[in-house]
Amino acid sequence: MSPQGNGDFKSPRRKDRAVISVSGLSKSFKMEGGNSVLALSPMDHHIPEGAFVSIVGPSGCGKSTFLRLVAGLEDASGGTIDLATGAIRRPVGFVFQDAVLLPWKSVRDNIRFPLDTSGVKRAAGNARVQELIDLVGLTGFEDALPKQLSGGMRQRAAIARALADDPPILLMDEPFSAVDLLTRETLNDELLKIWQQTGKTILLVTHSVEEAAYLGSEIMVMSPRPGRLKKTYSVDLPYPRTPDTKALPGYHALVSDLRRDLRDTE
């Protein structure tokens, strides 16, 4: 289904055209001694523009490898991956499990770092950075250093930095796994708002089936040995998702389906 809007929540600008098209994509890594490990067996998949894709699967099933291939951080061993993002220099932003902010730079300077390296003029960059700081809820912390922030605030800064260049695709590899549950739930809701406001295509890897079901308009289930795409779900839960979503029978059914899928992959 397509995400549905109600109230003052505008539906994300989800389109029918694929922004990520994967055909026969595979990846193997050479190991010591000449053996190789098939991290991702040939996979075909199309991700529509504006989708929120949750990716789940047991450890070692190739989730991070898939994100790194989409980001161009790894070369494919076979197949192709096409991004319909036009001629932009940085089509993807990446948020990792650890915020990896530069410790000697303020929140503001960390977020403007990609803009500096892209040669964006100071005045235009400053306006953009303030917009992002407000978007991720860090207003008032512009001059703080990373060590003065909580884990959740550091992840907010990392999200803002990943969005600095305005990439159409945001890749997130277990972004909230290091924060406490309450903060994680708050960050989930904030991420949904950011998605709604920006219309980005988001791919988020998580070990939590509840998080996957709560956030995703689509879910990719992967399985290991060798890593492969086992199944995809188109999620039939309305947006906006709120804590009430977690009381819906459809949410519970999806979570239990995902648990069963993961048990079956073990």
Ligand X SMILES: Nc1ncnc2c1ncn2[C@@H]1O[C@H](COP(=O)(O)OP(=O)(O)OP(=O)(O)O)[C@@H](O)[C@H]1O
Minimum CB separation of residue 132 from ligand X in Å reads 27
Minimum CB separation of residue 233 from ligand X in Å reads 18
114 binding ligand X? (CB under 6 A): no
Binding part of the chain for ligand X, among 8-16, 56-64, 77-85, 236-244 by CB under 6 A, reads: 56-64
63 binding ligand X? (CB under 6 A): yes
35 binding ligand X? (CB under 6 A): no
26 binding ligand X? (CB under 6 A): no
Minimum CB separation of residue 145 from ligand X in Å reads 29
Our CB check for ligand X shows the closer of 21 and 97 to be: 97
Which of 26, 54, 65, 110 binds ligand X (CB under 6 A)? It is 65
Question: In the stretch 214-233, what mask flags binding to ligand X with x, by CB under 6 A?
Answer: -------------x------
Which of 48, 50, 57, 93 binds ligand X (CB under 6 A)? It is 57
Our CB check for ligand X shows the closer of 26 and 64 to be: 64
Binding part of the chain for ligand X, among 6-14, 43-51, 52-60, 238-246 by CB under 6 A, reads: 52-60
- Distance from the first to the final alpha carbon of the chain: 29
Q: DSSP secondary structure string, the chain? A: ------TTPPPP---SSEEEEEEEEEEEEE-GGG-EEEEEEEEEEEEETT-EEEEE--TTSSHHHHHHHHHTSS--SEEEEEE---S-S--EEEE-SS----TTS-HHHHHHHHHHHTT--HHHHHHHHHHHHHHTT-TT-TT--GGGS-HHHHHHHHHHHHHTT--SEEEEESTTTTS-HHHHHHHHHHHHHHHHHH--EEEEE-S-HHHHHHH-SEEEEEETTTTEEEEEEE---PSSP-GGGGGSHHHHHHHHHHHHHHHHH-
6 binding ligand X? (CB under 6 A): no
Minimum CB separation of residue 28 from ligand X in Å reads 8
Contacting residues toward ligand X, per CB under 6 A: 29, 37, 39, 57, 59-65, 227
